[in-house]
Amino acid sequence: MHHYVKGARRLPVVSVALSALLALTACGVRPKPMSLQDHVRRADADQATLAAGYIPLKGGLTLGTAIARALKYNYDAQVAKLEASQQEKQIDLALMQMLPHLAADAGYSQRSNNNAAESIDWFTNQRSLDYSYSEQAAHGTGDISFSWNLMDAGISYFSARQQAYRALIAVERRRRAINDLVKAVTASYWEAVAAQAMLPRLDPIIADAEAMLAASHDAADAHLQSPLTLLDYQQYVIQLLGELRRIRGELISARIQLASLIDVPQDAVPTLTTMPQDVQPVASLDDAALEHVGLVMRPELRMEVYQQQIDRQDVYKEILKMMPGIGAIGNGNFDSNSLLVHNIWGQIGVRGTINLMNLVQGPRAIAMAKSNIKLSETRRLALSIAVLTQVNLSAQHYRTALDGLKTARAINAVSLQMERLADVASSAGAQSKADRIRHQMAALLGQLSYSRSLAQTHQALANIYASVGVDLVPANADIQDLDHLTAQVERSIAGWEAGQLPDLRLSEAVPAHAATVPVASAAVPVGAG
């Protein structure tokens, strides 16, 4: 009884100790939020890292240089590259799973007394031996063993194949990231070109128009002219001012966006030297050729093809799981127990196992894996329809941009003539300053429309190549050497402007993930009609 009470007194002490241990463990697991100083130090370190790799611009900025700088300094593209690299490293890890399992073990044990025992005769149920032991109270053991299972190796093989396809999907994902970035830079660059040409003229005209609008209000207050005439003039000027201010805001935003993409300060955008007038737009398009290239080259479709292959490996894995697992085992052992006759010995054997439940579950698992293949195929077909729609829409947008460019060119020609006649009339005193400014504003709107239409035409052409999945640079391009990357981009842009598509016959000679033939070396024209 006394012993029971003594043990009972120990229980609260043990409970308190366990509670304290759990409390300390909980405090150690739950992290503390980072302080403001920690975030400041992290931000300073990140800013220093970003500034360390910065290369300042020298001279003017071409479209090729802008795209190359965006590829080099855009971290989304770099993340896509690192993801592809990580997936490739996972392939080696998956292949290692096919190797035999090799393990080593060592230990030491000590008893307070010898492990002695007696024996009872089975037939007589009488004691047959005195107490004896065959193991020392203290001794060390060690062993090294290996095992290899044919079924596990087969499953690991198909898992490695799945990982290889995932690496190819990562490459296609990087292609898509690069194409999206090229599309964004191209659009911002052409808008910034229009801004560079028109912004210096916009601000003075807007200032003059605001001054004349204020003078018109003063004239209305003084009743110097007919109220209806003044209101008609004010309405017209206000509408023109609103349009000019809207376009001015869009042009400034394009310069800000371009500066962000090419990693330069917002107030230090250099002179853009690639002018839209330097190239001739493609006059016609071969829709059938565009559709075929789009179905072959679009990264999203290739990703679905690889995903279907991943699902196909699941079928093979489920079939293997239904088969007997035949494996080999072996080990080498050591025991320092001096009572043993053999302290070192080895074993080897073959073992066969089968999971009977897999025979029941296997057919359903195989059917599920096959349905995933069918689902992937259906998803790819649905995506193909979407790709064809995007290709045809981009081609139609380009044709619409060409029509808009023709109209804007005609309006600009008329506006320039009106501006010249207004200047002559104003110099001769046959026109008021208000009418001259009104005509200048209308002429400037016509020039703005033409400049932006020209930029939009080039954007539409770039969108065609983005919609068909043609790479400006290969997915495995080296983005660290800025000069080499710029030269590669410039060569590809020349092919774009010439309206060329990749020759798919050349792509068949290289792996699917590397079939990114530069446009500059292509031989199939976009404008085939």
What mean pLDDT is predicted for residues 396-414?
A: 86
**Burial status of residue 187 (CB atoms within 10 A of its CB: 0-12, 13-18, 19 or more):** buried
Per residue in 186-204, pLDDT (tens digit) is 888 888 888 888 888 888 8
Main-chain phi, psi angles of 274, to 5 degrees: -90, 110
More confident residue, 233 or 277: 233
Is the pLDDT assigned to residue 489 strictly greater than 70? yes
Give the largest CA-CA distance in the chain.
143
- The rounded percent of the chain whose pLDDT value lies above 70 is 78
**Burial (0-12, 13-18, 19+ Cβ within 10 Å), 526:** buried
> At 307, is the pLDDT very low, low, confident or very high (cuts 50, 70, 90)?
very high
pLDDT of residue 516: 37
Angle at 499 between CA 496 and CA 503, to 5 degrees: 90
- Asked whether the predicted pLDDT for residue 279 surpasses 80, the reply is no
The predicted pLDDT at position 505 comes to: 60
> What is the mean predicted confidence (pLDDT) over 265-278?
72
Which pLDDT score is estimated for 80? 64
Strand, coil or helix: what is 306? Answer: helix
pLDDT surpassing 80 at residue 83:
no
pLDDT for residue 515: 38
pLDDT at 522 over 60: no
Q: What is the DSSP string of 354-420?
A: --HHHHHHHHHHHHHHHHHHHHHHHHHHHHHHHHHHHHHHHHHHHHHHHHHHHHHHHHHHHHHHHHH
Nearest by Cα to 188 from 122, 254, 252, 250: 254
- Report the pLDDT value the prediction gives residue 385, as an integer from 0 to 100: 93
Token pair 């296609």 is found at: 172
Q: What is the mean pLDDT of residues 288-303?
A: 89
Q: Which of 55, 48, 60 is nearest to 71 (CA)?
A: 55
User: How much is the average pLDDT of 68-91?
Assistant: 72
**Burial group, residue 109, by CB count within 10 angstroms (0-12, 13-18, 19+):** exposed
Residue 520: band (very low, low, confident or very high) from pLDDT cuts 50, 70, 90: very low
Residues 6+ apart with CB under 8 A from 159: 94, 97, 313, 317
- pLDDT for residue 415 is more than 50: yes
Mean local confidence (pLDDT), 370-378: 89
Lowest mean pLDDT: which of 70-74, 216-220, 330-334? 216-220
pLDDT of residue 222: 62
Amino acid at 273: T
Overall average pLDDT of the 53-60 stretch: 70
Tokens of 129: 């031996």
Confidence at 518, pLDDT banded by 50, 70, 90: very low
Decide if 287 contacts 498 (C-beta within 8 A). Answer: no
What pTM value is reported for the model?
0.71
Q: Which of 319, 328, 356, 326 has its CA nearest to residue 151?
A: 326
Quote the mean pLDDT of the chain.
77
How many angstroms separate the CA atoms of 73 and 198, rounded? 29
Amino acid 384: pLDDT: 93
Name the burial class of residue 57, with classes exposed (0-12), middle (13-18) and buried (19+) by CB atoms within 10 angstroms of its CB.
middle
Edge-to-edge strands, sheet with 101-110:
101-110, 138-149, 325-335, 344-353
Question: For residue 302, what pLDDT is reported?
Answer: 92
Place of tokens 């020039």: 447
Q: What is the pLDDT of residue 529?
A: 31
Contact criterion met (CB below 8 Å) for 297 and 513:
no
Question: Quick one: CA dihedral 466, 471, 476, 479, positive or negative?
Answer: negative
What residues have CB less than 8 Å from 476, skipping those under 6 apart?
171, 514
Contacts of 291 (CB under 8 A, 6+ apart): 388, 391, 392
436 Cβ neighbours under 8 A, 6+ residues apart: 422, 423, 425, 426
User: What does the pLDDT read at residue 392?
Assistant: 92
Q: What is the pLDDT of residue 456?
A: 84
By mean pLDDT, which of 360-369, 379-388, 474-483 is the weakest? 474-483
At 523 the pLDDT is 33
Helical spans, DSSP H, in 61-149: 63-73, 75-96
Of the pLDDT bands very low, low, confident and very high (cuts 50, 70, 90), residue 112 is confident
Q: What is the pLDDT of residues 222-271, one digit of tens each?
A: 665 667 777 777 787 788 788 888 888 888 888 888 888 887 776 667 78
Give the chain's domains with CATH numbers.
67-107+152-194+236-525 (1.20.1600.10)
Q: Which amino acid is present at 7?
A: G
What pLDDT sits at residue 512? 40
The whole-number average pLDDT for the span 18-24 is: 64
User: Given the DSSP bridges, would you call strands 500-501 and 117-120 parallel, antiparallel or unpaired?
Assistant: unpaired
Q: What is the pLDDT of residue 4?
A: 45
Q: What's the rounded mean pLDDT across residues 437-460?
A: 81
